[in-house]
Amino acid sequence: MLKLMEARFPKPDFTSGYQYPDILHSVPNETLWNVVDIVLLVGMMMLVVWAAYRKRSRAVIYSISIVSVLYFGFFRSGCVCSVGSIQNVVMAAVSPDYHLPLYVLLLFLLPILFTLLYGRVFCAGVCPLGALQELVNIRNFRLARAVSATLSIIPWIYLAFTFLYAATRSQFLICRLDPFVGIFRLGGDVGMITFGVVLLIMSVFIGRPFCQWLCPYGALLSVFGSLSWKKLEITEKGCINCALCGKSCPVDAIRSPQVSRTREERLRGVNRIILYAILLPLLTLAGAMLLGSQSDALSLAHKDVYLYELLLQQEAQPEMEMPLEVETFHALGGNIEELKAEVADIRSDYKLYSRLAGALIGFVIGFKLLKLSLKRSRRTYEISTARCTMCGKCFNYCPQNLTSSKPRRPHSPQTP
C-alpha cells in the first residue's frame, strides 16, 4: 500500500544540498508516575488507618482528601482509577490475550486488601471521587432507610452491566459514565460534567451520593468491608448511647441499638427467613433469565454488532443516507459474511455474560431482602463496616472522645 503511494510522486532529488529535517516526537508521560501513584495510594491508605484507629482524627483524613483531589484528581486527571480498574480486571479474566498492566492490577487489589484488614479506608479520602464529595459536604439530610436501601441496589446493577460490557469487550461503562473526570480535567463531555455538577451540589446536602448509590467499586468494597478483620470503633472509652454519632454520619453507617423495638414471635421471624432463603435462588434464576432474554438487544452496545445492524438496515433501505461506519466498512472492502460470523460469536458471548450479570442482580436483590429480614439486637451504637467510608466525622461528635480524663464506665444495661 505504501509502495503504491510512493510511486505516485517520485522522491525529489535535491541539488541544493537540502537535508531532511529531523523531527523529534515527545515521549509518553513517564511511567514513573505510575510508581508514584501506587506508593501514594498505599501510603495514604496507611495514613487513614493510623488516623482512624489510633488518632481518631478527622483532620488527618480531611487533609488526605485534599491531597487526593489535587494529586489523583486534578494532577493525574483521574485515569486509571481503582473504580475503573474493575473493567480491566474483568477483561483480563475472560480474554486470554488481554495484557493487564501490573499497575492496574495493584490499583484494583490494594484497596480490597486494605478493606479486608481495616474496612473501607480507600473510600475515606484516598479515592478522589469520594474525596471531592467529602470536601463540599456541609449538611446531611437523610433519605428514608427504605428509599436508601432500594437505591443501594443501583451500584450492583451498574456493576453487573460493567461486567457484561467489559467481559464482551464492548465498552468501558464506568469510564464513560464517570461524572467527576470531566471536572478533574476541566473539560469533556457536557452531559457527564452536568451530571457531575448536579452530584456535587447534591453532596453539599447529602453525604456522598455517588459513593452511596452509584459507585460499583464501593459495592464491591462493601462486601469485603462487612468481613473486615478489624472493626472501627467510634470511641475506645465505651458508648454512652447519646445518639450524636448516628446523626453525624454522612452515609448512614451507624446503627442504633434496637432495644425498644416491639418484639415479635420467634416463629414468625424464622418463617420469614425461610421464605427469603427460598426466594433468593428464585430471584437469581429470574434475573438470569430476564437479562439473558434481552441479550440480543444488549449486544448492540458492541461496535461490530452495531455495525452489522447498520449494514442490514442499509440493505433494507438503500435510499437512506449512508452512516459513516457503513461507508468505511465498504471503503475498506469489509466482508459481510465474516462480520456475520463474528457477530454470532459476540452474541453467544452476550448470551452467557448477560445471564451471569442478571443472576448477580437477582442474587443481590434477594440477599438484600434476606438481610433486611434479619433483626440484630445491639446494645450500643455500632458502625456498619459495610457502609462506613471512614470519613471520621463521628469521632468529633462523640462526647467520650472529647473528655481527656480516664475512661468513663460504659453504659450497659447488664452491668449492675
Positions that interact with other proteins (CB under 8 A): 1-2, 5-6, 8-12, 14-16, 18, 20-21, 23, 25-29, 31, 77, 79-80, 84-85, 87-89, 92-93, 98-102, 105, 108-109, 112-113, 116, 171-172, 175-176, 181, 185, 187-189, 223-224, 226-229, 303, 324-325, 327-329, 331-332, 414
Instruction: Please name the residues in contact with 380: beta carbons below 8 A apart, sequence gap of 6 or more.
Output: 238, 239, 241, 257, 410, 411, 412
Q: Smallest distance, Å, CB 140 to other proteins?
A: 28
Q: Smallest distance, Å, CB 335 to other proteins?
A: 15
Query: 3-class DSSP state for residue 84?
Result: helix
Question: Which cell numbers in the block locate residue 69?
Answer: 483531589
Residue type, 96: P
Residue type, 415: T
Q: Smallest distance, Å, CB 293 to other proteins?
A: 27
Report yes or no: 382 and 258 within 8 Å, Cβ to Cβ: no
Question: Which cell numbers in the block locate residue 380?
Answer: 450500643
Pick 111 or 362: Cβ nearer other proteins: 111
Q: Smallest distance, Å, CB 117 to other proteins?
A: 8
Report yes or no: 295 and 347 within 8 Å, Cβ to Cβ: yes
Pick 11 or 139: Cβ nearer other proteins: 11
Pick 64 or 126: Cβ nearer other proteins: 126
Pick 5 or 144: Cβ nearer other proteins: 5
Compute the distance between CA of residue 75 and CA of residue 305 in angstroms, rounded to an integer: 37
Q: Smallest distance, Å, CB 1 to other proteins?
A: 6
Pick 147 or 270: Cβ nearer other proteins: 270
Pick 210 or 224: Cβ nearer other proteins: 224
CA distances from 220 to 206, 215, 272, 336 (A): 22, 9, 27, 41
Q: Smallest distance, Å, CB 89 to other proteins?
A: 6
Pick 28 or 318: Cβ nearer other proteins: 28
Question: Which cell numbers in the block locate residue 76?
Answer: 493525574
By DSSP bridging, strand 382-383 and strand 254-255 are: antiparallel
Q: Smallest distance, Å, CB 320 to other proteins?
A: 17
Beta bridge partners of 254: 383
Handedness of CA 79, 81, 85, 86 (dihedral sign): negative
Report yes or no: 370 and 188 within 8 Å, Cβ to Cβ: no
